[in-house]
Structure 1
Amino acid sequence: MKQFLLGVVTTLVVLVVAAAVLLVSVGSGTAPAAPRPSATPSGTAAPPTDLAADETWLGSVDLTSRDLVSAEGDLAGVRARGTGVRFGADGMHADTLAVDATVPFATVAEQIGSGTTVYAAPDGRAGVQRRATLFGRTVTIRATGTVRADRGQLLIEPETVDLGGPAFLDAIAGAAARALVTIRQPVPGVPAGLVLRKVTTTPSGFAVALDGADVTVGR
């Protein structure tokens, strides 16, 4: 009976530690690697034959968290699914790892810079408003554009740009203004090896789906 209880306690500890490690992996702050073929976890991986004495292995893990806060930015509605999860003194390694989450607009705006607002626009588009100096004049640039995953990063490409001034100003400064509201950046707080596959605009932020293979996260 004592051995049985010890086994139950050990299993619970392992699951709690695995949960913490996986959630920390989402907030490690390393930029995503170059895109790889999709490696969405499915089923259970085969147990390793070289497990060290100080390592623990889980065939599959499915974890959720309502909020995740890190130095790189906040995420919401995080779900992490992994297979072949091995962790020990050096950190965690997953044969496959997939993460679904929502990146709040405030997180994206903070990455872009102060004086920036990002919001949902009609038809699945995103709006960007930011203050900038163009040709010695401080202006407010307002733009709406499409949102997609491109080379593992979140990309907002403006379709309309408004400087709030005379039409000739829009024409003269249009290219420079468009560059200032073309947003390309990684999803904050995800480990190396995870690649952004899909992004859509929601009322509260950008819903993102990332996955990768051979994902390693140091402690």
Structure 2
Amino acid sequence: MRNFLLGVLSGVLATALAATALVLSVRGEASPTSAPTPMASPVPSGRPTDFAADDTWLGVVDLNSSEIVTSGGGFIDVSAKGRGIRVSDRGIHAQHLDLEATLPWAVAATQVGEGVELYAAGSGRAGISRTIEVLGQRVPVKATGTVRADNGELVIEPESVDLDGPDWLDTVASAAARALVTIRQPVQGVPDGLRLTGVSVIDTGFRATLSGDGVTITN
């Protein structure tokens, strides 16, 4: 996630700076007789008071991307909006950042654990499939549960649990199985100040919303 956000904002900053350079170039080529009367430029609201000569500050940045791939996985259908983006030799920081993106099922399953399968189970619920070990036996288990964001974490709480084994095993292992298919997953690699605020289930994965103030994207 950290590399993802860095890539997102770095790309936006590069585009913004290139556009600024183009505007300045066009102005430099204009005839002196056609130059407009100089006017005082207002200081943008929210601009830092300790603005240094080598700092770059952007008031509002919007970005939409169909896909972002990082070393930790990938996101699709990404929408990001930042306010008060400041770039300096101390890193990239945002006064406020909102992010919405889809975490595909396969990527989320890899983050949860080896051998886990996640999928849409209908009615806004997520399905979980994995193999557990009970009384020396490896038993496949499937569960369907509700999804929510809780204290910055992705939570999947099972409503139904199905063990693919004999009836006596279902009785003995039901509590253990329920614990192993209850998912409480921290959002890994999120920059300081940004946290998961909402999550829902869609056909392609988890639709996640993250938000925060004073976000340090990279140092």
Partner of 1:174: 174
Could you tell me how far apart the structure 2 residues matched to 1:202 and 1:18 are?
Answer: 33
- Post-superposition shift, 1:75? 1.1
C-alpha displacement at 1:85, in angstroms?
Answer: 0.7
Does 2:14 correspond to 1:16?
A: yes
Q: Aligned pair in 2 of structure 1 residues 18, 93: CA closer, same or farther (>3 Å)?
A: farther
In structure 1, how many angstroms separate the alpha carbons of the residues matched to 2:201 and 2:114?
22
CA deviations over 1:60-109 (Å, ceiling 9, x no partner) = 11112211112222111111111111011221111100100001111111
Contact 1:91 1:218 in 2 (8 A): yes
Distance 1:17 1:91 in 2: 18
Structure 2 residue 192 is matched with structure 1 residue 187: no
Alpha-carbon distance in 1 for matches of 2:210, 2:218: 19
Task: Quote the residue 1:58 is aligned against.
Answer: 58
Mapped to 2, the partners of 1:78 and 1:45 lie a distance apart of 27
Name the Cα RMSD after superposition. Answer: 1.9
Spell out the pairing of 1:128-207 with structure 2 (5 A cutoff). Answer: 128-207=128-207
Name the SS of the counterpart of 1:139 in structure 2. strand
Q: TM-score, normalised by structure 1?
A: 0.78
Consecutive unaligned residues of structure 1, counting only runs of 5 or more, are: 1-12, 20-43
Aligned length: 183
- 1:123 is matched with 123
Deviation string for 1:34-53 (max 9, x for gaps)? xxxxxxxxxx8521221112
TM-score normalised by structure 2 residue count: 0.78
Structure 1 residues 14 and 180 mapped into 2: Cα distance closer, same or farther (>3 Å)? Answer: closer
Counting aligned pairs with the same residue, the percent is 51
Does the aligned pair in 1 maintain the 2:191–2:218 contact within 8 Å? no
Q: Distance in 1 between matches of 2:202 and 2:130?
A: 20
Residue type matched to 1:132 in 2? I
- C-alpha displacement of 1:192: 2.2
On the 8 A contact 1:63/1:81 being kept in 2, the answer is yes
Say if 2:12 and 2:63, in contact at 8 Å, map to a contact too: no
The residue type paired with residue 199 of structure 1 is: V
The runs of 4+ residues in structure 1 deviating greater than 4 Å are none
* CA contact 1:67–1:75 (8 Å) conserved in 2: yes
Structure 1 range deviating more: 67-76 or 49-58: 67-76
Gaps of 5+ in 2: 1-10, 18-43
Call closer, same or farther: CA 1:45–1:62 in 2, change over 3 Å.
farther
Query: 112-121 or 152-161: which moved more?
Result: 112-121
Query: d(CA) in 1 for partners of 2:217 and 2:136?
Result: 46
Residues in 1 aligned to 2:47 and 2:180: alpha-carbon distance in whole angstroms? 50
Q: CA deviation at 1:119?
A: 0.2
Q: Once the 2 structures are TM-superposed, how far is the Cα of residue 168 of structure 1 from its aligned partner?
A: 2.0
Structure with bigger gyration radius: 2
